[in-house]
Amino acid sequence: RNLTFHGFRPHPELPALRAACDVLLVPYQRQVGIAGGASQDGSTIAPLKLIEGLAAGKPLIASRLPVASEILTHGETGLLAAPDDVQEWEAALDSLRNPALRQRMGTAARALHALRFTWEARAAAVLALAGQATAAGGMQ
């Protein structure tokens, strides 16, 4: 296996690093360390890395936690693996040795991003919710 840990990189460098990858990993944990040595429940974190991965058009493997499961469809737009099961992550990586599967999932990931997570798509979703709230309020 060829797995490279790049360590911390400034945000402007990340698109080029993602583009050079065959597969992107999003290993969210059940508990996440935060400043001051505290931790928070991993289900409450913002899925920004996952959304950036979708935009890159690469196949994703993410932790099977609500934050990722609400976005990815296992086997279609990515693969989900238990955050603490190394063998499951290995099996997911092995399945993505298939170039056709990587291409299909990467294309589906980019399409999902375009549909739900661009600035325009997010703004449209917010405006639609605001319209529903206004309509519901006017009917009372």
> What value does the mean pLDDT take over residues 14-20?
93
Question: Who's near 36: CB < 8 A, 6+ residues apart?
Answer: none
Residue 87 has pLDDT above 90, yes or no: yes
Residue environment code for 96-105, b if the CB has 16+ CB neighbours within 10 A, otherwise e: beeeeebeeb
pTM for the complete prediction?
A: 0.81
Angle between helices 119-138 and 99-116 (to 10 degrees): 40
Distances from the Cα of 133 to the Cαs of 74, 120, 122, 125, in angstroms? 32, 20, 17, 12
Alpha-carbon distance of 64 to 68, in angstroms, equals: 6
Judged against a pLDDT cut of 70, whether residue 82 lies above it is answered with yes
pLDDT of 138 = 55
Please give the pLDDT value at position 140: 46
pLDDT bucket at 122, cuts 50 / 70 / 90: confident
Residue 139 above 60 pLDDT? no
From the number of C-beta atoms within 10 Å of its C-beta (0-12, 13-18, 19+), residue 58 rates as buried
pLDDT at 43: 65
